[in-house]
């Protein structure tokens, strides 16, 4: 499955969402307009608004509403706001194969533009005809989750003691929470009942977890050229992710302690990076991570079995399967 296939299937709903995002970002500041246009032209998968529209249509059995479009747009605006902020926190020079705003205009400008996208996401929600209060709370929780996830990850970076529970809290907060917000707001936009609401929330969380585990696998299994973004940076940032957790699970206590010490000391001894990567590959850490990811994909598909039969539900299943096999 290709994501363009989904955009074509969504048709006018997708066109209106894309137009709403673009119109939301208009300003009388030329530099802001030029920068926003550059971001939009390199906008990545746009998976969250696609997911949001599919869920709205799957739950309603009729189609998306204008509020569905507003909330789908808000999910993409918020996502890009967080990326602009993340690039500053991570000192990222490149994203999706292109220079970041931070590298071109500096960190302060990237933060300010991220703030602009964030405010426009809030404006999109506030322009809705109904459900505004509920959806604001949903997105507010997501922003809180994002901040807590970043801080927990930072706290764990120097200690090397991240366990699987810590890892899951971090990736829920930093990735799955926004998928959840996109799904929940979509269901709210069409007045879905509680059973459907819980089903799509579960689905979104599971694919969000699977999505991040797959991303973390790339850091050990792919090259920068093959996926269009830098790899190997997780260890540079002292992150213990699922492939490494899988390798540690099959190591002796002494081996595990030594590897964790090396992760915590990687800034002082950069050569540890290659040793840790070899350890993950030798201990089949990637296979462990793959099993975990496939379990989340399976749980996501099961969660939406309560939705009525529809092409939209079929596409939601295909998205879950796509996450497991994507190579970028």
pLDDT in tens, 139-166: 999 999 999 999 999 999 889 999 999 9
Residue 44's pLDDT is 83
pLDDT at 291: 97
Indicate the pairing of strand 94-95 with strand 98-99.
Answer: antiparallel
Q: Is the pTM of this model over 0.85?
A: yes
End-to-end CA distance of the chain: 13
Which H or E element spans position 98?
Answer: strand 98-99
Q: Categorize the per-residue pLDDT at 1 as very low, low, confident or very high, splitting at 50, 70 and 90.
A: confident
Helix, strand, coil percent content, the chain, rounded in steps of 5: 75, 0, 20
Quote the pLDDT of residue 3: 85
- Per-residue model confidence (pLDDT) at position 268: 93
CB 189 within 8 A of CB 66: no
Distance (Å, whole) CA 44 – CA 14: 15
User: How far apart, in whole angstroms, are the C-alpha atoms of residue 216 and residue 239?
Assistant: 10
Q: What is the DSSP letter of 308?
A: P
pLDDT digits (tens, 9 = 90+) for 182-224: 999 999 999 999 999 999 999 999 999 999 999 999 989 866 5
Q: CA triplet 41, 325, 147: central angle to 5 degrees?
A: 60
194 exposure class (CB count in 10 Å sphere: 0-12, 13-18, 19+): exposed
- The CATH number of the domain covering residues in 3-325: 1.10.600.10
Q: Is 185 helix (H, G, I), strand (E, B) or coil?
A: helix
């Amino acid at each position: 499955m290709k994501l363009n296939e989904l955009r074509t299937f969504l048709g006018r709903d997708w066109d209106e969402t894309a137009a709403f995002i673009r119109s939301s970002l208009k300003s009388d500041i030329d530099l802001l307009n030029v920068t926003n246009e550059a971001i939009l032209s390199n906008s990545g998968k746009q998976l969250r608004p696609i997911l949001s529209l599919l869920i709205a249509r799957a739950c309603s059995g009729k189609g998306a509403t204008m509020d569905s479009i507003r909330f789908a747009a808000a999910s993409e605006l918020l996502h890009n706001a967080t990326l602009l902020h993340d690039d500053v926190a991570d000192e990222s020079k490149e994203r999706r194969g292109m220079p970041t705003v931070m590298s071109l205009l500096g960190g302060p400008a990237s933060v300010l533009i991220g703030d602009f996208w964030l405010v426009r996401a809030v404006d999109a929600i506030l322009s809705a005809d109904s459900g505004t209060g509920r959806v604001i709370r949903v997105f507010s929780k997501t922003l809180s989750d994002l901040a807590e996830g970043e801080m927990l990850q930072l706290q764990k970076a120097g200690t090397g003691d991240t366990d699987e529970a810590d890892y899951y809290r971090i990736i829920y907060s930093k990735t799955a929470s926004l998928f959840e917000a996109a799904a929940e707001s979509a269901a709210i936009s069409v007045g879905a009942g509680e059973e459907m609401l819980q089903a799509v929330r579960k689905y979104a969380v599971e694919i969000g977890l699977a999505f991040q585990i797959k991303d973390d696998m790339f850091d050990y299994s792919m090259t920068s050229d093959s996926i269009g973004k830098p790899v190997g940076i997780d260890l540079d940032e002292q992150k213990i992710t699922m492939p490494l957790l899988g390798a540690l699970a099959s190591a002796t206590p002494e081996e595990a302690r030594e590897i964790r010490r090396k992760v915590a000391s990687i800034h002082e001894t950069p050569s540890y990076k290659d040793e840790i990567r070899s350890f993950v590959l030798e201990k089949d850490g990637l296979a462990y991570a793959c099993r975990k990811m496939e379990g989340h994909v399976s749980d996501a598909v099961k969660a939406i079995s309560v939705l009525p039969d529809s092409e939209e539900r079929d596409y939601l299943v295909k998205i879950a399967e796509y996450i497991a096999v994507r190579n970028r």
